[in-house]
Amino acid sequence: MAKSFRDSLEAGFTITAEIPPPKSVSFPKSIEVAKKVAGKVAGLNVTDNQRGMMRMSSMAFSHILLGVGCDPVWQICCRDRNRLALQSDLLGASALGIKNVCVMTGDYPTLGDNPGAKAVYDLDAVQLMKLTDGFSNGKDIRGGVMKNHPDFFVGGVVNPFYEPIELELLKLQKKVNAGAKFFQTQPFFDIESVDTFLEQAKPSGAKMLIGVTPIKSMKMLKFLNENVLTKPIPDGVSKRIEFASDQMMEGLKISAEFINGIRDRVDGAHIMPINQVASLPLLLDMVEEGNGA
């Protein structure tokens, strides 16, 4: 395996990408993509029943990615497990060779494909980060000593567009105090907003991976604006997509240009290719070319 995600992030600008586990026990297309990008990204985030949609265990798929030369960033959310199960999974993940953990609260089940599922939320994200960091220091949740303990690189997520931003920054600092070393953000679409957020988040001292989501069509752009994002996509981006002869390719070019434009500003970029995992190798090639052309 190449340089680990942790080492890469400590060394300089780092690119990670997101890949969802399959809703199946067969995953040849996902593995094909993972093999192609293994040398181009420092880590592959594995989502944990994202948006409340049932998929393969994020821990299991993270272990599978290790087998093809990828360094997985295992996402674990508070929604589906109590503190007993969370601790068991953390030990199991470490035993399987998983080193990176991205902790999050988790979308409420009513948003997904099993709306009748009972949400647990025994711990919140800050508490789970503190638990995970404690494991790395040889202590369980009750303060008991663990002789053979994991060593996790712990991170989380942050929404730079939450209002009032002061509350999000307060939560960010609580997560840092609980042991978080890196954060992945909601997607940005303009560099000015990145600069503003970085200035606001600077006191935390944490590593920031700026979220990037390629826009593949006007339909997708409108859906994100109306249902997902808390800040509309800039008009300049919208017009480039709207008038492009190939909207998906234009979206990839915009993302490549954006990633290269923030290289000297941030610790890294985190690509969230919503329903476009197969396009990841092409996007990363564009980034390496330096101009998205």
The domains located in the chain, with CATH, are: 5-289 (3.20.20.220)
Q: Is 235 exposed, middle or buried (0-12, 13-18, 19+ CB in 10 A)?
A: exposed
- How many residues are present in the chain? 293
φ/ψ region of 12 (left if φ > 0, alpha if ψ in -120 to 50, else beta) reads left
171/169 Cα distance (integer angstroms): 5
Looking at 29-93, which runs of residues are DSSP E strands?
A: 43-46, 72-77
Each residue's pLDDT, cut to its tens digit, for the chain (293 residues) gives: 468 999 999 999 999 999 999 999 999 999 999 999 999 999 999 999 998 999 999 999 999 999 999 999 999 999 999 999 999 999 999 999 999 999 999 999 998 999 999 999 999 999 999 999 999 999 999 999 998 999 999 999 999 999 999 999 999 999 999 999 999 999 999 999 999 999 999 999 999 999 999 999 999 999 999 988 888 999 999 999 999 999 999 999 999 999 999 999 999 999 999 999 999 999 999 998 765 44
Q: What is the pTM of this model?
A: 0.94
